[in-house]
Amino acid sequence: MRSLEGRPDLCSINTATLGHRQPIAEVIEAVARHGFGGIAPWRRDLEGEDVGNIARRIRDAGLAVTGYCRSTAFPAATPAAAAAALAENRAALRDAARLGASCFVIVAGSLPPGSRDLGAARRQLEDGVGALLGEARQLGVTLALEPLHPVYAGDRSCLCTLDEALDLCEAVDPGSAGGVGLAVDVYHVWWDARLAAALRRAGQGRRITAFHVCDWKVPVTDVLLDRGMMGDGVIDIPGIRRAVEAAGYAGKVEVEIFSARDWWQRPPEETLATCAARLERC
């Protein structure tokens, strides 16, 4: 396993970690100044901005783009809504390519209003990912399926485990031609007794495309917006990173922390410095 101590260049900052409080240009500058090697912007960061200009700023700052967040929910109540979501996702995928992102993060979505049919939502997800895959390959941007913690199964992600995500990869890309892989976020997968086996399986297909860190605080008070800084929770982050790197992942370690009550209340400089200092806990 690589040592991260004093190596922020091996790490990336997901802009959500800073709470989307500054213009993206300022965030790019601050992330680079702290020595990080990458950045992962969100679509909301680019609203009202020129994508080409932002891409140039990121390149000029010497930052890799470790991911572009994230897809519009695939499951939809009507065919028209599903088609609209797919169109939004195609547009976002093209922006990911213009940014030079290594992947477009796929957050599945889940039950449309009124539905209790998770199976149907999962089939819609598979159809949508399959429909995007050709363009993703042409653009050289991998679709990074990010299973979310099962606590979000009702409203945010019908894709709940790495094994499900790998099943989906194999369904749409049976020959392992590429273009589709996994975003492994410790917050979402740490509890899974099958985690080690799933990471080995992912390694066999070279599927791990992104690796996200934060921590799970105990007790959890807000499962959406109270994620912890690495070291402040109960996740065995080094153990998971060791397995992820043993599975062939050589990309950056991306810090993604949703923290409305804590880190988003602090100055971005403090959050970035703490992220750098806490890499030793990863």
Under rule CB under 8 A, residue 227 binds a copy of itself: no
Which one of 85, 103, 111, 144 is in contact with a copy of itself (CB under 8 A)?
111
Amino acid at 39: I
Provide, rounded to whole angstroms, the least separation between the CB of residue 225 and a copy of itself.
Answer: 12
Residues of span 157-176 touching a copy of itself by CB under 8 A: 160-161, 163-164
Question: Least distance from C-beta 243 to a copy of itself, angstroms?
Answer: 12
Residue placing its CB nearer to a copy of itself in the complex, 27 or 214: 214
Helices within the chain (DSSP H only)? 24-33, 51-60, 79-99, 118-139, 162-172, 186-189, 195-204, 237-246, 268-277
Minimum CB separation of residue 121 from a copy of itself in Å reads 10
- Is the separation of the CB atoms in 211 and 241 below 8 Å? yes
Please say which residue, 149 or 241, places its beta carbon nearer to a copy of itself: 149
- Inter-residue contact 2 to 30 (CB < 8 Å): no
Give yes or no for residue 124 binding a copy of itself (CB under 8 A): no
Q: How many CB atoms lie within 10 A of CB 262?
A: 16
Q: How far is CA 28 from the centre of its chain?
A: 18
Closest Cα partner for 6 from 39, 36, 40? 36
Residue 219: is the preceding peptide bond cis (ω within 30°)? yes
- Three-class SS of residue 65? strand
Tokens of residue 135, six digits: 């363009």
Asked whether position 246 contacts a copy of itself by CB under 8 A, the answer is no
Does residue 234 belong to the site contacting a copy of itself (CB under 8 A)?
yes
User: Binding a copy of itself by CB under 8 A: which of 84, 218, 246, 260?
Assistant: 218
- 151 belongs to the binding site for a copy of itself (CB under 8 A): yes
Regarding 185 and contact with a copy of itself (CB under 8 A), the answer is: no
**Per CB under 8 A, 193 contacts a copy of itself:** yes
Q: What burial class does residue 277 get, using C-beta atoms within 10 Å of its C-beta: 0-12 exposed, 13-18 middle, 19+ buried?
A: middle
- Residue 219 interacting with a copy of itself (CB under 8 A): yes
Residue 223 binding a copy of itself, by CB under 8 A: yes
Q: 31-55 burial, b if ≥16 CB within 10 A, otherwise e?
A: bbebebbbbbbbbebbeeeeeeebb
What is the SS3 assignment for 104? strand
Q: Which stretch binds a copy of itself (CB under 8 A): 55-63, 210-218, 243-251, 268-276?
A: 210-218
Would you count residue 31 as binding a copy of itself (CB under 8 A)? Answer: no
Q: Which residues bind a copy of itself (CB under 8 A)?
A: 111, 115-118, 122, 149-151, 153-155, 160-161, 163-164, 190-194, 216-220, 223, 233-236, 239
